[in-house]
Amino acid sequence: MHQLTIAEIIRGLRDKQFSSVEITSHMLERIQQLDSQFNSFITVTGEQAIQQAAAADARLAQGDAPALCGVPIAHKDIFCTRGVRTSCGSKMLDNFVSPYDATVVENFLQAGAVSLGKTNMDEFAMGSSNESSFYGPVKNPWDVTRIPGGSSGGSAAAVAAQLVPGTTASDTGGSIRQPAAMTGTSGLKPTYGRVSRWGMIAFASSLDQGGPIARTAEDVALMLSVMAGPDNKDSTCLDRPVQDYTANLNDSIAGLKIGVPSEYFGEGLDSEVGARVQEALAAYEKLGAELVQISLPHSKLAVPAYYVIAPAEASANLSRFDGVRYGYRCENPADLRDLYMRSRGEGFGEEVKRRILVGSYALSAGYYDAYYNKAQQVRRLIKQDFVDAFQKVDVIMGPTAPNPAFKLGEKNADPVAMYLEDIYTIATNLAGLPGMSIPCGFAHGLPVGLQIIGNYLDEARMLNVAHQFQQASDWHQQIAPAAK
């Protein structure tokens, strides 16, 4: 049963081939047996999952259940879950049990989905390798000596290892798409504001966006149809009705104009990764699409702009963790200053401290205009590049990451090298655009992701484009060795 996609599970439940309790129990047993080698889960909620599955079976028996009723999923541990630890991968929140559900979690509960637990992640979503987690690194099911990508590495690894058919995740600079690329899964970052951020612990508020990771574009569409929608508890959430993202999956893509940015195929791109992406573009031509060479001239500035804006917003957002109201508190503080300094110093990991320091510096008096304000001006130029490009093309394609998954510990001593792993994904967050990654082959025996960038609120077209490629290829059906 663990090899079934979400779409196949939905059909199986409705055809009474198995019950939600049966498939939930099977997945929980698989997590117990296999996850010690991946470390993809922080918390497994087995008892609660069986209760939810039994309730889903009763709802299915009545014949009026929503599409995802009875389907097992997992949530990235950045989403607050009532009565369940929500750690954000940090010692700071190791003891935090949320008193409420995030809107995304509530949406899945309303849809009858069954939550198996909370997946591992880089601490406060800061990282590209899932090595900064307080709970230890996540390992890639394709090669357990390698990283799964970050920050949603636990979510991607759990799907790749077939421990769960779909997971929620979040993407601030590539944290859905890059792990999806490195684990051979499909992941989508929606348009900024398409999915509510209420109850999703904040890293960089103008960049963060929740989205799904699953095995296929069809499964991603099914999950996004539940996740997306307006929310009066989040003022940045767009007041637009939710589409059925599965409705147009089978539409022809003949005549589709695909923009191919020259900047995404230059220095720094692994030659085998580039070859796999070019082969995928050729496959799209066979499906009737037209390739159009485009330029995104300011894309080289995306990484430096991001690493001013994101740490600046993080330094403000993480100021709430002070050891007073909730989270980690140091032992026997001498006074209030000591409480603040030691609670934060002991509770945060090295990468989080690094970004708080950089962000605080960029926002400090005398440097705000030189750094933060200038980065925001560059951000506007990056956005305009995309606006201009979408006057000529329907979607933009290129590699998701410059390299396949690297060895655990390989880039820990060089933060800049680690940051450059997100060089092709960051610009879409700065522009607020939707982007997704789908498997398109292997380089050096490891999965390669094809990135598809869409225009604002054009997720349905992106999913159609991704689904058509998956109908004509089988890269998304390849199974990681450790999952067999």
Catalytic residues: 76, 151, 175
Beta strands 395-399 and 257-261: pairing type?
Answer: parallel
Main-chain phi, psi angles of 456, to 5 degrees: -55, 130
- Torsion over CA of 418, 421, 423 and 427, rounded to 10 degrees? -90
**How many degrees, rounded to 5, is the angle at CA 286 between CA 393 and CA 276?**
80
Q: Please name the helix (run of DSSP H) or strand (run of DSSP E) that holds residue 442, with its range, or none.
A: strand 435-443
Q: Which two tokens stand for residue 1?
A: 């049963």
- What's the order of all strands across the beta sheet hosting 186-189? 41-44, 114-119, 72-76, 166-171, 209-214, 186-189, 435-443, 446-454, 395-399, 257-261, 290-294
Q: How far apart are CA 141 and CA 155, in angstroms?
A: 12
**How many degrees, rounded to 5, is the angle at CA 456 between CA 455 and CA 459?**
80
Main-chain phi, psi angles of 386, to 5 degrees: -70, -40
Other CB atoms within 10 Å distance of the CB of residue 384: 13
Q: Which two tokens stand for residue 131?
A: 């090595």
Give the SS3 label for residue 313.
helix
Helices (H), 215-349: 217-227, 271-286, 302-317, 336-347
Q: How far apart are CA 242 and CA 224, in angstroms?
A: 9
Closest by Cα among 117, 50, 132, 33 to 354 = 132
Give the SS3 label for residue 454.
strand
Q: Are 72 and 24 in contact (CB under 8 A)?
A: yes
Q: Are 244 and 224 in contact (CB under 8 A)?
A: no
Which is it for the CA torsion 32, 34, 36, 41, positive or negative? negative
Q: Please name the helix (run of DSSP H) or strand (run of DSSP E) that holds residue 385, with its range, or none.
A: helix 374-389
- What are 72's strand-pairing partners? 114
Q: Is the peptide bond before 151 cis (omega within 30 degrees of 0)?
A: yes
